[in-house]
Every structure is written in structure tokens, then in C-alpha cells.
A and B are shown apart, each in its own frame.
Chain A
Amino acid sequence: GDSVTQMEGPVTLSEEAFLTINCTYTATGYPSLFWYVQYPGEGLQLLLKATKADDKGSNKGFEATYRKETTSFHLEKGSVQVSDSAVYFCASRPPGNTPLVFGKGTRLSVIA
């Protein structure tokens, strides 16, 4: 079945550092890809998405590009802030109204 693998955390960065969280997927078809963010004690919020190869999702300074050739959807941000501290989940979803398949999550801590 489909699966998502993302880099293990925790990741600790200083404010204004560059962030990369790696995510790769396996799928039989052409899934949509997502990054969700979970702040402490809260539910998941959609951060960005891409629905086809070479699409770039972006939001709040975060970006990720759907790379079909490397089956990847790495999350990047040029300059992180303390308020970005959270757990980030990469997810895939096969076409149609299907369940999301999540990675295990990467905890990010940004220190001032």
C-alpha cells in the first residue's frame, strides 16, 4: 500500500536558520501531497499541498515541490521563526475521496 517516510526529529534550529524536512512517498498511482502542521495541544492544520508533478505548494514562507522522479515532497523555509515550532506531518492521498496516509511527523523547535 501507499506509504510516507519523513525525516525523524526532533529538529532544533536557531531563529532565521534555513529549514528542510525531507519527505518521500510510495504510491501506485498519482497521489496528492500535503504538509500539515500541529501546534501543541491542537489539531492538524493544512500548511500546503500539491496535486500533480512539478506543482509547488507554498504558504507562510514554507514551500514544497512535488517531484515525481524522486517521489519526494520536501518542506523548506528560508528563515524560521520561534512561532514555527510545531510538529510537521507529510501526507499523501490517492485520487478520489480516500484517506490520508501520514508520515510519523517531525518535531521542530526554533530557539531565539
Chain B
Amino acid sequence: NAGVMQNPRHLVRRRGQEARLRCSPMKGHSHVYWYRQLPEEGLKFMVYLQKENIIDESGMPKERFSAEFPKEGPSILRIQQVVRGDSAAYFCASSPGQESYEQYFGPGTRLTVT
């Protein structure tokens, strides 16, 4: 059973470009969480999605950031007009959706904005 997949693993963007990060949850998991890890910091929650629904986006910046989890295909975190402060590691985690299950993390995408 493959784990949570994220791609790309490393992404370099110039200021003003768009960054698109993908997350494929574990098989059978319908819940996806995105977290951001700034250098030397812990992970901060960004957004929680189920298939075709955003459940909680309280940790998402109001501008330039968006997320989706379509019926088919991976979850996408999109950052428009990136700035240097967006440089971070972005992790997604998935769970099957039952209360007792923990979240399984992917290897992360390390975004560098130059």
C-alpha cells in the first residue's frame, strides 16, 4: 500500500510566479490536510479538505492561496504570485476519515522562491 505521495519534492519559483503542489492520499483515504513548515518552526495547519469540499481553511492566508481536492485526482495547493516569505516545506497528510485514525504524512514539497 503506497503511502502519501507529494510532488514535486523540490520546487523553485521566481517572485510573482505560480506554485502548484500536488498530494495523492493513501489508498482509501478521503481526508487531506495541508501544513506549512517554516525554517526552524513546527508545522502550522493550513487547510482541511474532503473530496470536493473544503472543511476548514482557517489556517490559509486569505490572498494568493487556494486548495482543492477534486473527485478524481490529487489534492492541489496553489500559491499565486509567490513571494520570498512563501519559501517553506509544505506537507500534506491523509486520513481515512474515522475519528480514531491518525494522519499519515507525505515527504513534503520544499518550495524556494528566488
- Given A43-B106, A44-B105, A46-B102, answer yes or no on A97-B42 (Cβ-Cβ < 8 Å): no
B15-49: which residues lie under 8 A (CB-CB) from chain A? Answer: 31, 33, 35, 40-45, 48
A25 within 8 A of B: no
Number of interface residues of B (CB under 8 A): 29
User: A101: which of B45, B105, B108 is its contact (CB, 8 Å)?
Assistant: B45
A45 interface residue (CB < 8 Å to B): yes
How far in angstroms is the closest Cβ of chain B from A54? Answer: 18
Q: Which DSSP category, helix, strand, loop or mixed, fits chain A's interface?
A: loop
CB 8 Å contact bits of B47-91 with A (1 = contact, 0 = none) = 010000001100100000000000000000000000000000001
Nearest first, the 6 A-B pairs at minimum CB distance are A99-B45, A102-B42, A43-B107, A44-B105, A104-B42, A43-B105
A residues bordering B, Cβ < 8 Å? 32, 34, 36, 42-46, 49, 51, 89, 95-105
Q: List 18 A-B contacts (CB under 8 A).
A: A32-B102, A34-B102, A42-B108, A43-B6, A43-B105, A44-B43, A45-B105, A49-B102, A89-B43, A97-B48, A98-B48, A99-B33, A100-B35, A100-B43, A100-B45, A101-B45, A102-B42, A102-B43
